[in-house]
Amino acid sequence: MAMNRNKSRQDRRRKGLRLSRRGVASVLAMMFLIIFGSLVAAMAVASTGNIRTANMHLHVMRAMSAAETGLAVAEHRLNEASSRFIVAESDLDADITWALWKGDSSLIGVYQVAPSQDGYPEGADPAGIAEALVNAHAADENILAGFDYIETPEISTAPTDVTGSIYESSYWVNTPAVLLTEWDDPDNSNPPPAYQIRYAPLAGGHTIRVIVEGIVYDFQRNNRPIRRIITRDYQIIKTVDQAIISHSKILIGKNVQIEGELGARFDEVDFDAGDPIVMRSDFLGLDPVLDAKIQDFFTSLSTSDIDGDNRLRVGHPIEGAGIPSDDDFDGDGDMDGAFNDATQDGYIDEIDIFIRHYDTNGDNRVTLSADLIAGTRAGLDGSAPEFVGSGGEAIDEDLALLIDGGRPDRNENGVFGFLDVNNDRIYQPLDEDPIDYDAFHSSYPDTELGWRDGYIDAMDRYAKVSGRLVFKVSASDWENGQGPIYERLQGPIDPDDDESALEFGADDLTLPDINASSFADTENALIAAADGDEFWQQVADQLGTSVSTLSTWTLDMNPSADDEPHLFPVWDDADYDGRPDNYTWAYYENAPYNSPSFSDIYWRPVFENMVFRNVKVPMGLNALFVNCTFVGSTHVRTYAQNTHPLWSEYGVNVMGSDDYPEPKFPRFVYGDDAGEDASNAPPMLPSTAVPPDQMILMTELSISPLDTGDVPQSEIATFGESYNLLPEPIVIEGKRFVDTKELSNNLRFHDCLFVGSIVSDTPTEYTQVRNKLQFTGATRFTTVHPDEPENPNLNPDENDMDTILTSSMMLPNYSVDLGSFNSPPEQNIALQGAIIAGVLDARGNTTIDGALLLTFDPEHGEGPLLDVMGNPIGNPAGFNASLGYFGSADGDYESIDPNDLPVVGGVRIIGYDTNGDGLADAPYNEPQPPGSVPVPFNGFGKIRVRHNPNMRLPSGLMLPLSMPPVSGSYQEGRY
C-alpha cells in the first residue's frame, strides 16, 4: 500500500510538473508576441521616420542643387559684367576696385565699357560693375513673383542684420528669385525650385561675396519652404589670359612647352609661310622607328581629330575609330602596341606613343638616364634606364627634363620649386630639396605627384600646350591661304574642360590688341626710376679712375685680377675712316650674335665684372656686358623717331679684305680740302651741318648716293630726275647722321644678373637690326639679390619695387633674343613677370614665368615693309616670335633648322670655325675652308613658358577685368 501511495504521489508530481510547463510556454509565447509586435510597430515607426527623413533630405538636396545652379549663374554674370570694363590702370587697390564696383569714374582713370557679350538690351552703358549686373539680371526670365522676393534687380543698402565690419553698407545688388523650371499650374501647385542671388561687397570694396539661396516649396515646415544658403567670394582683378600674345607669327619648336594659352593676332595669311602659329613635335627625330609610328598617328589625326587638339579619344565614335591599327614597326615579329593608352587618360597622343616605344618592362612609364635618376624616386626604386640608346647613352636629356620637370606645382597649392643651394637654377636631387614639404607626412608633395621623379609617365600630364590656341584670323582664311591647318600644328593641346582647343575669329576682348603705347605709364615710371649716377661715372668709379681717362683707355690699364672690373674700349673715329681708331685691337662681333645669317658687324665696348645701379645706358653705346650686375631700373636709351626708310642701312659694316670690319658704304670727307666749303654743300643741310661746323661724310663716287646729303650742290644736275627720288638725309638738332648706330642701341648681355627691370625708350618703328637686345649665357632676372638679399647696394630701392614688380623687361618695339643661334648647354636664362618686346626669340635653355606680350605688328606696306619710294615690300611672315629652332622655310631667316644640318663625324654641324673662336664663320652648306674646324650643333635645349595669372601687369595696358573666385572661400550656411 505504501508503494502505491508513493507511486500515486510521484504520478501526481509528474502531472503537476507537466501542467506547470504548459503555463510557462503560454506566457513565453505571449511575451514573444508582444515583443514581435512591438518590434513591428517600432520598425513601422522607424520606416516612417526614415521615409520622412529621406524625403526631407531629398528636398534639402534639391535646395542645395538650386543654390549651386544660382552660384554658377552668378559666377558667369560677374565675369561677364566685369569683363565689360577695359581699364588702363593695373594697380587695382581697394579704392579703385570700389570705384569700379560703384561706377565712380573720377577714380577709375582711363577705361572703356564694352557692349554686353550676352546681348541683352540696355538704355545706356553701365557706370560700374554693380549696374552692369543689374542690367544683366533685368533680362532674366521665369521670375518667381510674390513670395516676399523682389521682382526687379536693384542696388540697395545692406540688410540691417549684417556686420558692418565685414560688409560695406551700400551698393549691394539684390536680384529676383528665378525658377529652375516652368511653373505649369500656379493656381494648384507649389512653385518649382528656385534660386535668389545677392552680391554683397565686403568691407574695403576689393572683394564681392555672392550669397545664393536655394528654395524648395514642395515640402514646407510651418508654411515655410526649405532654404539652403551658400556663399563664395570673388576678387576684382586685371589679368591677361594668354601666356603669349603676338602680332607677328608664333613658332613653337621642338623641346618647347607652353603652360597657358597662345594668342596669335597675325592675319597676313596670304603670304609665303604666313601661318599664325607653327608647332613642331617634341618627339620626331629621336628614333626612326618612333618617327614612323608618329607619322602614322599624324595621318589618322588629319581625318579623325574632330576638335583639333591633336589627340584621339578612346571610345569616341569618330576619333576612337580613327586610332591607327597596331603594327610590327620594329620588325621583331610581334605587334608593338604602339597606339595603346599608356597614360590611361582616355586619349591617344604622342606621349602615349613615346612611352610605349621606350617602355621595356611594360609598366607604362619611361625611366630616364642614370644621371637624371640619381637621387630621384626612379633611382631609389632601382629602375633600369630606358630613355637611352643601345650603348646606354642618353638620347635627349633636355626633353627628359622638360617633361619630368614640367608643371612644377603638381598639387596646385602655389608652393613649388627647390632650394637652389649653388644658385645654378638646376635641380640636383641628391643635394637639394623641393620647397613644398609636408611635415606631417614627411614627404614632398610635388615629387610624390611625379615632379622630377625620374620617370616620364601619366603623372607628368604632358601637353605641348596646356591651354587653348586663340586666333584673330578665321579658320577658312587660314586654310585658303596656307592649306590644311593640322599640318602646321603638331603636339597635343590640352585646353580647360569647358573650352575648345582652337578658337578662331577672336575679338579684342578675347585677344587684346597689344601695341607699343599700351605700357606708357609703367614705362615712364621705370625710366624715372633709373636715377643713379651717370653711366660713365659708374664705370670710372669701378675702374678707380676719372671719366676723362676713359676715351683713351687701354687694356693694360685694367686691374690685373680676372674677377675685377675691366673695360675693353672702342675709341672714336677721329680720322673719319669708318673704323674706331683702335680697330686693330677693339672687339667686334656679328649681329645677331652667332647667327648664320647675320645682318651687320658691330664694334662693341666690353664691360666686365661691373655693377650698375639705376643706370641709363647711353644711346649709341652698342656694348657687350659680361658678368655684370644691374640693380634697380636699367634704362636703355634710343632715338624714338627712327622713321627714315634707310634707318637700318646707315652704318652697316661688312668684313674688309684686311679681316677687320669696314663700312658697307664707304665715305669720303667733304670739307677737309680746299674748295669744299659751305657754298657747294648739299643745299638742304643746315649751316650747323656743313663745314666748318661739321665735316660732311659723303658716299664714295664709285657708289650711288644714299640720300640728297651725299650730293654736292654742283653735282645735283648730273643726276637729273633720279635726284628727286633720293630720300632726305637724317638731321637731328642741326647735326647730320650717316650712321644710325649712334642713335640706337644694339646690346648683348652675357652671364649677367638683373636685380630689377630693364626698360627702353620706345622707337616709333621696329628696326630689329639697330634696336636689339640679346641675352646669352646664364643671364637671369630677379627682384632680390640671390646672394646678398640684405645689401641695399645690390637690391632695388624700396620706393621703386611696386613698379619693378610689374615687368622685368619693358622693351616695346625692340627686338629681343634670348640665347644665341647655337646656344651652349650651360645657357640658363630665366625671366619672370610681364615680358614686353616688339618681337622676341628664344633658343636654348630658357624659362619664362609670366607672359610674353609682343607689340610689333608686321603689316605689308608699313614700317620696315615699305621701300624708299613708299612701295610695299617684303613678307610680314618674316617677322616672328621664335621659341626654339626654325629655318627660312618657316620664315625665320636669321636662324638654322637643325633638320637641314649635315652630319659630319657622327654629329650635326652648323658650319666651320675659321679663326678658333668656336663660332661658325663659314656656313655648313658650303665647302669646308682649309684649316677650319666643324662646329657641332649644341642641341635644342629646353624652353618653358609658364603663364602666371597672378603676376602684376604694367599700367597703361588696356585689358578687361575679371572676377575669379577666392580660393577656399566657399561656405554653406549663414553669411
Mean pLDDT of 870-876: 92
pLDDT of residue 38: 62
pLDDT at residue 632 greater than cutoff 80: yes
Q: Hey, what's the cell of 602?
A: 658691330
On the question of a cis peptide bond just before residue 592, with omega within 30 degrees of 0, the verdict is: yes
All three cell numbers of 922: 663659314
The proportion of the chain whose per-residue pLDDT surpasses 90, expressed as a percent, equals 75
pLDDT digits 0-9 by tens, 136-148: 999 999 999 877 7
What local confidence, expressed as pLDDT, does residue 17 receive? 42
Q: How far apart are CA 954 and CA 89, in angstroms?
A: 8
Residue 205: pLDDT band (50, 70, 90) is confident
Give pLDDT tens digits for 798-832: 999 989 998 899 999 999 999 988 898 888 888 98
Q: Which of 603, 599, 598, 608 is nearest to 620 (CA)?
A: 603
Q: What is the pLDDT of residue 868?
A: 83
* Mean pLDDT across the chain: 91
Is pLDDT at 1 greater than 50 in this prediction? no
Bond into 692 cis (ω within 30) = yes
- The answer to whether the CB of 604 falls within 8 A of the CB of 589 is yes
Is the pLDDT confidence value at 85 over 80? yes
| pLDDT digits 0-9 by tens, 646-685 | 999 999 999 999 999 999 999 999 999 888 999 999 999 9
pLDDT of residue 894: 81
Listed range (31-40, 298-307, 645-654, 786-795) with the worst mean pLDDT: 31-40
**Distance of CA 377 to CAs 73, 442, 456, 812, 872, Å?**
45, 15, 12, 45, 59
pLDDT of residue 78: 96
**Cβ neighbours around 295 below 10 Å, total:** 12
On the question of pLDDT at 23 being above 80, the answer is: no
pTM of the shown model: 0.88
Alpha carbons within 13 angstroms on the beta-carbon side of residue 746 total 23
User: Which pLDDT does position 52 carry in this prediction?
Assistant: 54
pLDDT of residue 246: 97
Q: For the segment 924-969, what is each residue's pLDDT rounded down to a tens digit?
A: 988 999 999 999 999 999 999 999 988 888 888 889 999 999 988 9
C-alpha cell belonging to residue 821: 643661334
Instruction: State residue 32's pLDDT score.
Output: 64
pLDDT in tens, 395-425: 999 999 999 999 999 998 889 999 988 877 7
pLDDT computed for residue 770 by the predictor = 96
Residue 18: per-residue pLDDT: 46
Q: Is the pLDDT of residue 56 over 60?
A: no
Q: Could you tell me the pLDDT band of residue 37, with boundaries at 50, 70 and 90?
A: low
Spatial separation of the C-alpha atoms in residues 732 and 64, rounded to whole Å = 72
The pLDDT of residue 509 is above 70: yes
Tens digits of residue pLDDT in 109-123: 899 999 998 888 888
Model confidence over 899-922: pLDDT tens digits? 899 998 889 999 999 988 888 888
What integer pLDDT is reported at residue 453 of this predicted model? Answer: 96
The pLDDT of residue 9 is 43
For 750-798, the pLDDT digits (tens) are 999 999 999 999 999 999 999 999 999 889 899 999 999 999 999 999 9
6 pLDDT tier (thresholds 50, 70, 90): very low
Residue 15: pLDDT band with limits 50, 70, 90: very low
CA distance linking residue 445 with residue 412, whole number of Å: 10
Over residues 314-329, the mean pLDDT reads 95
Write the Ramachandran bin of 513: left for phi over 0, alpha for psi from -120 to 50, otherwise beta.
beta
pLDDT of residue 36: 64
